[in-house]
Amino acid sequence: MKIQVERDVLAEAVAWTARALPARPAVPVLAGIRLQAAADLTLSSFDYDVSAQARVPVDAEEEGEALVSGRLLAEITRSLPARPVEITTDGARATLACGSATFTLLTMPTEDYPTLPEMPPPAGSIGSDAFASAVSQSATAAGRDDTLPALTGVRIEIEGETLTLVSTDRYRLAVRELRWTPARPDLSAAVLVPARALADTARALTAGAEVSIALALPGEEGAGGEGMIGFEGGGRRTTTRLLGGDFPRYESLLPKQVNAVAELATPSFAEAVKRVALVAERNTAVRLSFSAGQLVLEAGTGDEAQAEEVIDASFEGDDIQIAFNPQYLLDGLTALDSDITRVSFTESGKPALITGKPAPDEQPDFRYLLMPIRLGG
Amino acid sequence: MTRGGPGRGPAVPDGAASPDRGPVTGEPVPGESVTGEPVSGKPAAGGAAAGGAAADSGCRILHVDMDAFYASVEIRDRPELAGRPVIVGATASRGVVLAASYEARAFGVHSAMPVTRARRLCPQAVFISPRHHVYAAVSKEVMEVFRSVTPEVEPLALDEAFLDVSGAIRRLGPPARIGALIRATIAEQQGITCSVGVASSKFIAKLASTHSKPDGLLVVPADGVLAFLHPLPVAALWGVGEQTGQVLARLGLRTVRDIAEIPVGTLQRELGLSLGAHLAALAWGRDERPVVSSTPEKSIGAEETFASDIDDPEVIRRELLRLSGRTARGLRSAGALARTVVIKLRLANFTTITRSRTLPEPTDVARTIYATACALYSAAGLDSRARLRLVGVRTSGLVPASRAATQLAFGERPAGWRDAERALDRISGRFGTDTVRPAALVTGQPDEPFPRLSAGSHFQAPDESARRPPGEPARRPPAESARRPPREG
Asked if pLDDT for residue B107 goes beyond 50, the answer is yes
Which of the four pLDDT bands, split at 50, 70 and 90, describes residue B311?
Answer: confident
Q: Which domains does chain A have, with CATH numbers?
A: 2-112 (3.10.150.10), 122-241 (3.10.150.10), 254-370 (3.10.150.10)
Residue contacts between A and B (CB atoms, under 8 Å): 54
Considering Cα of B472, then B477, then B481, then B487, what sign does the dihedral take?
A: negative
Three-class SS state of A377:
coil
Instruction: Give me the pLDDT at residue B42, please.
Output: 34
Which chain B residue's Cα is nearest to A304?
B403
Contact at CB, A373 and B414, closer than 8 angstroms: no
Q: What's the burial of B92, exposed, middle or buried (CB within 10 Å: 0-12/13-18/19+)?
A: exposed
Asked if pLDDT for residue B417 goes beyond 90, the answer is no
Residue A250: CB atoms within 10 A of its CB come to: 16
Q: Average pLDDT in the B46-60 region?
A: 57
Q: Where are the domains of chain B?
A: 9-68+134-227, 69-129, 232-283, 299-404+414-440
Q: What is the Rg, in whole angstroms, of the alpha carbon atoms belonging to chain A?
A: 25
- Interface with A, mutate which of B337, B408, B472 (most A CBs under 10 A): B408
* DSSP calls for A170-234: SSEEEEEEEE-EESSTT-EEEEEEEHHHHHHHHHHGGGSSEEEEEE--TT-TT-S-TTEEEEEET
Of A170, A301, A303, the CB nearest to B410: A170
Residue B98: CB atoms within 10 A of its CB come to: 20
State the Cα–Cα distance between residues B14 and B177, nearest whole angstrom.
14
Of B402, B407, B411, the CB nearest to A376: B402
Of B335, B407, B414, the CB nearest to A325: B407
Instruction: Give me the pLDDT at residue B473, please.
Output: 42
Contact at CB, B410 and A374, closer than 8 angstroms: no
State the Cα–Cα distance between residues B148 and A265, nearest whole angstrom.
63
> Which residues on A lie below 8 Å from B403 (Cβ)?
301, 303
Which chain B residue's Cα is nearest to A326?
B407
Q: What is the CATH number of domain B299-404+414-440?
A: 3.30.1490.100
* DSSP calls for A225-251: -TTEEEEEETTEEEEEEPP-SPPP--G
Contact at CB, A377 and B401, closer than 8 angstroms: yes
Of A168, A346, A377, the CB nearest to B402: A377
A338 CA to chain B: closest CA distance, Å?
26
Residues of B with catalytic function: 160
Contact at CB, B408 and A301, closer than 8 angstroms: no
Of A253, A259, A301, the CB nearest to B470: A259
**Choice among A283-292, B53-62, B285-294, B438-447 with the minimum mean pLDDT:** B438-447
CB A165 within 8 A of CB A363: no
Pairing of strands A314-317, A320-324: unpaired
- Interface with B, mutate which of A145, A254, A371 (most B CBs under 10 A): A371
- Interface with A, mutate which of B359, B364, B372, B403 (most A CBs under 10 A): B403
Q: Which of the four CATH numbers 3.40.50.2300, 1.20.1730.10, 1.10.150.20, 3.90.480.20 does domain B232-283 have? A: 1.10.150.20
Q: Report long-range pairs for B229-235 (Cβ below 8 Å, ≥24 apart).
A: B229/B204, B229/B256, B229/B283, B229/B285, B230/B255, B230/B256, B230/B257, B230/B260, B230/B283, B231/B255, B231/B256, B231/B257, B232/B207, B232/B256, B234/B258, B234/B259
Instruction: Give me the pLDDT at residue B476, please.
Output: 39
Of A253, A373, A376, the CB nearest to B407: A373
State the Cα–Cα distance between residues B413 and B464, nearest whole angstrom.
9
Assess A253–B contact: CB distance below 8 Å, yes or no.
Answer: yes
Asked if pLDDT for residue B391 goes beyond 70, the answer is yes
User: Of B267 and B473, which is predicted with more confidence?
Assistant: B267
User: Of A302 and B142, which is predicted with more confidence?
Assistant: B142
Contact at CB, A373 and B401, closer than 8 angstroms: no
Pairing of strands B86-89, B126-128: parallel
User: Of B270 and A211, which is predicted with more confidence?
Assistant: A211
Assess A268–B contact: CB distance below 8 Å, yes or no.
Answer: no
Which of the four pLDDT bands, split at 50, 70 and 90, describes residue B274?
Answer: confident
Asked if pLDDT for residue B480 goes beyond 50, the answer is no
Give percent above pLDDT 90 in chain B: 31
Backbone angles phi, psi at B3, to 5 degrees: -115, 135
Contact at CB, A372 and B408, closer than 8 angstroms: yes
B410 CA to chain A: closest CA distance, Å?
5
Contact at CB, B407 and A371, closer than 8 angstroms: yes
**Choice among A130-144, A221-235, B144-158, B437-451 with the minimum mean pLDDT:** B437-451
Assess A299–B contact: CB distance below 8 Å, yes or no.
Answer: no
Considering Cα of A178, then A179, then A181, then A185, what sign does the dihedral take?
A: positive
Which of the four pLDDT bands, split at 50, 70 and 90, describes residue B10?
Answer: very low
Contact at CB, A373 and B470, closer than 8 angstroms: no
Contact at CB, A377 and B335, closer than 8 angstroms: yes
Q: Which of the four CATH numbers 3.90.1010.10, 3.90.1150.10, 3.30.70.2860, 3.40.1170.60 does domain B69-129 have? A: 3.40.1170.60
Contact at CB, A346 and B470, closer than 8 angstroms: yes
Instruction: Give me the pLDDT at residue A266, please.
Output: 96
State the Cα–Cα distance between residues B56 and B35, nearest whole angstrom.
8
Residue B466: CB atoms within 10 A of its CB come to: 8
Which chain A residue's Cα is nearest to B334?
A377
Written out in words, the top-level CATH class of the domain with range B9-68+134-227 is: alpha beta
Asked if pLDDT for residue B434 goes beyond 80, the answer is no
CB B209 within 8 A of CB B196: yes
State the Cα–Cα distance between residues A135 and A204, nearest whole angstrom.
12
CB A172 within 8 A of CB A371: yes
Q: Average pLDDT in the B459-476 region?
A: 38
Q: What is the Rg, in whole angstroms, of the alpha carbon atoms belonging to chain B?
A: 27
Contact at CB, A253 and B410, closer than 8 angstroms: yes
CB B105 within 8 A of CB B63: no
Three-class SS state of A21:
coil
- Interface with B, mutate which of A144, A146, A148, A171 (most B CBs under 10 A): A171
pLDDT per residue as tens digits for the range B193-222: 999 999 999 999 999 999 998 899 999 998
> Which residues on A lie below 8 Å from B360 (Cβ)?
145
State the Cα–Cα distance between residues B91 and A43, nearest whole angstrom.
76
Contact at CB, A377 and B408, closer than 8 angstroms: no
Contact at CB, A377 and B470, closer than 8 angstroms: no
Of B405, B409, B414, the CB nearest to A323: B405
> Which residues on A lie below 8 Å from B471 (Cβ)?
259, 318, 347
Instruction: Give me the pLDDT at residue B13, please.
Output: 38
B474 CA to chain A: closest CA distance, Å?
11
Q: Do domains B9-68+134-227 and B299-404+414-440 have the same CATH topology?
A: no
Instruction: Give me the pLDDT at residue A222, please.
Output: 54
State the Cα–Cα distance between residues B104 and B115, nearest whole angstrom.
12
Per-residue model confidence as pLDDT tens for chain A (377 residues) = 999 999 999 999 999 999 889 888 888 999 999 999 998 999 999 998 899 999 999 999 999 999 999 999 999 999 999 999 999 998 889 999 999 999 999 999 999 899 998 889 899 999 999 999 999 999 999 998 877 889 999 999 999 999 999 999 999 999 999 999 999 888 899 999 999 999 999 999 998 899 999 987 665 555 566 789 999 998 999 999 999 888 989 998 998 888 999 999 999 999 999 999 999 876 678 999 999 999 999 998 766 789 999 999 999 999 999 999 999 999 999 999 899 999 999 988 899 999 998 888 888 999 999 999 988 64
State the Cα–Cα distance between residues A71 and A66, nearest whole angstrom.
15
